């Protein structure tokens, strides 16, 4: 056939989930693709999504003189989750999903934090499709304006058949049942912090993931923060000398939660940071908390984590202050050593890590009480380079890598369990009024919960009963835990 073939100005690509939505590919692009195909030794060519990679597939029978008589071409990824077979004059839909094209990840809970996962996952090369799951249709409608081709579901059960993995970004009290449902379906799962409210539930999830041979990862995002990693490096390299203590503050006006107190909401961040920097979990926890503006949940709390076996003030410890009721937004961790000090300010634009050559030493005056007991040293301030990588993007990319390569997550189930143990010990400590050893958790905790009447939140979380005293609510007092061997 001679002469130049004629094509319509554009070929329509119609998506089955939205019959009225029609996207067009310019005919010149089609002609160029077909020309490349024709030059590829008369082979069928498969184009994969992000990045665009051309590979040869099985032979197609049929010649290709010029641009006429070309074999059918399978194209995957012209649009996200669209796979079409292109002939010289039409586009036909083959399949909405192809498992070899990438990972299909469902995000359960598309609120403030879940929507950030949706944004990040849509930028990853390993992810072929992001599925939106939320019981609130208004959230799905809002996100669908930006991610027009994303499948939307109001039920996780209906969405699981499309997903290879699931990100759980729902309220903390729902993490365990949702994670168990996902694992039971044989899907990989990333659970936002905290993994669970109680250590027993955290172990259930870990055991289920192990039995199902699926990836279980916990969303301790700050462990993927370049500034936190720099802080860990400085501490481990002894740049500060002997580490005395760490102090962390996470304060703001809000955001109040409706199913957990401020310890379970904000505490996981700082507990995971301190555990990560020190490379181990504490042996005991002491906590104080109070309800002010919130009638049911503590909105201000102080935690002290003991990392040595003695509590006389000489051991390594970390202090954590969390609050929903503060006029200033603070995201700061301070590490104090015998030689230097480090301040990590997550809100700083350019100087998130500052190493201060400051310290104190004993006065040489000996027993002379007229002289100051300590002398003070002031030196330079060093601001090391910290990469600007987004922690959530690093975390979600690592999750995808673990799925495709079989690697163990850096923040796996045991990492999440270590944080949950601290949180549960803190909850017990604030009620008992004394430090709680992590070794006391387990059967002791169950016995205490059985002694205290509880009420149930609509989402299933159980709260200890409170009584009125002087016009304010207080928790029913509990007997002290007996320590092992006591």
What is the three-state SS of the chain?
Answer: CCCCCCCCCEEEEECCCCCCCEEEEEHHHHHHHHHHHHCCCCEEEEEECCCCEEEEEEECCCCCCCCCCCCCEEEECCCCCCEEEECCCCEEECCCCCHHHCEEEEEECCCHHHHHHHHHHCCCCCEEEEEEECCCHHHHHHHHCCCCCCCEECCHHHHHHHCCEEEECCCHHHHHHHHHHHHHCCCEEEEECCCCCCHHHHHHHHHHHHHHCCCEEEECHHHHCHHHHHHHHHHHCCCCCCEEEEEEEEEEECCCCCCCCHHHHHHHHHHHHHHHHHCCCCCEEEEEEECCCCCCCCCEEEEEEECCCCCCCCCCEEEEEEECEEEEEEEEEEEEECCCEEEEECCCCCCCEEEEEEEEEECCCCCCCCCCCEEEEEEEEECCCCCCCCHHHHHHHHHHHHHHHCCCCCCCHHHHHHHHHHHHHHHHHHHHCCCEEHHHCCHHHHHHHHHCCEEECCCCCEEECEEEECCEEEECCCCCCCCCCC
Cα 104 from Cα 354, distance rounded (Å): 41
Beta bridge partners of 460: none
374 close to 100: Cβ distance less than 8 angstroms = no
Q: Cα–Cα distance between 203 and 290 in angstroms, integer?
A: 29
pLDDT tens per residue, the chain (486 residues)?
A: 444 333 333 333 333 333 333 333 444 444 444 444 444 444 333 333 333 322 223 333 333 333 233 333 333 333 333 333 333 233 322 223 335 679 999 999 999 999 999 999 999 999 999 999 999 999 999 999 999 999 999 999 999 999 999 999 999 999 999 999 999 999 999 999 999 999 999 999 999 999 999 999 999 999 999 999 999 999 999 999 999 999 999 999 989 999 999 999 999 999 999 999 999 999 999 999 999 998 899 999 999 999 998 776 778 999 999 999 999 999 999 999 999 999 999 999 889 999 999 988 877 766 676 777 788 889 999 999 999 999 999 999 999 999 999 999 999 999 999 999 999 999 999 999 999 999 999 755 665 555 544 444 444 444 444 433 334 444 433 333 333 333
Q: How far apart are CA 3 and CA 300, in angstroms?
A: 79
For position 444, what pLDDT does the model report?
57
Confidence (pLDDT) at 449: 54
CA distance 107 to 170: 9
Domain 102-220 listed as CATH 3.40.50.720: yes
pLDDT value, residue 101? 78
Residue-range domain boundaries for the chain: 10-99, 102-220
User: Cα 339 vs. chain centroid, distance in angstroms?
Assistant: 34
Backbone dihedral region for residue 42 (phi beyond 0: left; psi -120 to 50: alpha; all else: beta): left
């Amino acid at each position: 056939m001679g002469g130049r073939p004629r094509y319509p100005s554009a070929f329509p690509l119609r998506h089955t989930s939205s019959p009225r939505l029609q996207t067009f590919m310019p005919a010149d692009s089609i002609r160029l693709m077909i020309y490349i195909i024709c030059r590829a030794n008369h082979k069928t060519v498969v184009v994969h999504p992000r990045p665009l990679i051309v590979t040869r597939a099985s032979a197609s029978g049929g010649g290709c003189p010029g641009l006429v008589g070309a074999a059918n071409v399978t194209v995957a990824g012209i649009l996200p989750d669209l796979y079409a077979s292109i002939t010289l004059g039409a586009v036909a839909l083959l399949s909405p999903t192809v498992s070899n094209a990438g990972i299909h990840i469902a995000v359960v809970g598309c609120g403030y934090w879940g929507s950030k996962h949706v944004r990040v996952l849509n930028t990853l090369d390993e992810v072929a499709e992001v599925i939106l799951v939320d019981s609130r249709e208004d959230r799905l409608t809002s996100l669908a304006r930006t991610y027009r081709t994303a499948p939307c579901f109001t039920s996780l059960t209906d969405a699981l058949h499309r997903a290879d993995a699931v990100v759980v970004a729902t309220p903390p009290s729902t993490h365990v049942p949702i994670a168990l449902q996902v694992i039971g379906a044989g899907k990989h799962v990333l659970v936002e912090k905290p993994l669970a409210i109680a250590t027993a539930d955290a172990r259930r999830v870990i055991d289920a993931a192990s039995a199902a041979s699926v990836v279980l990862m916990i969303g301790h995002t700050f462990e993927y923060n370049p500034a936190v990693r720099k802080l860990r490096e400085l501490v481990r390299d002894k740049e500060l000398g002997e580490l005395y203590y760490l102090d962390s503050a996470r304060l703001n006006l809000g955001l109040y939660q409706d199913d957990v107190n401020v310890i379970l909401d904000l505490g996981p961040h700082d507990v995971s940071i301190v555990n990560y920097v020190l490379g181990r979990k504490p042996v005991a926890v002491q906590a104080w908390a109070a309800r002010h503006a919130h009638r049911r949940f503590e909105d201000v709390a102080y935690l002290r984590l003991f990392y040595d076996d003695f509590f006389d003030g000489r051991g390594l410890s970390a202090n954590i202050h969390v609050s929903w009721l503060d006029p200033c937004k603070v995201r700061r961790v301070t590490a104090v050593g015998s030689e230097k000090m480090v301040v990590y300010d997550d809100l700083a634009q350019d100087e998130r890590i500052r190493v201060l050559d400051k310290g104190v030493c004993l006065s040489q005056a000996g027993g002379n009480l007229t002289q100051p007991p300590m002398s003070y040293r002031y030196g330079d301030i060093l601001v090391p380079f910290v990469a600007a990588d987004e922690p959530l993007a690093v975390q979600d990319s690592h999750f995808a890598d673990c799925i495709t390569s079989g690697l163990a997550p850096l923040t796996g189930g045991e990492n999440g369990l270590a944080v949950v143990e601290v949180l549960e010990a803190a909850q017990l400590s604030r009620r008992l009024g004394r430090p709680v050893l992590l070794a006391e958790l387990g059967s002791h905790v169950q016995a205490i919960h059985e002694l205290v009447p509880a009420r149930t939140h609509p989402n299933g979380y159980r709260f200890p009963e409170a009584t009125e005293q002087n016009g304010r609510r207080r928790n029913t007092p509990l007997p002290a835990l007996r320590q092992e061997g006591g």
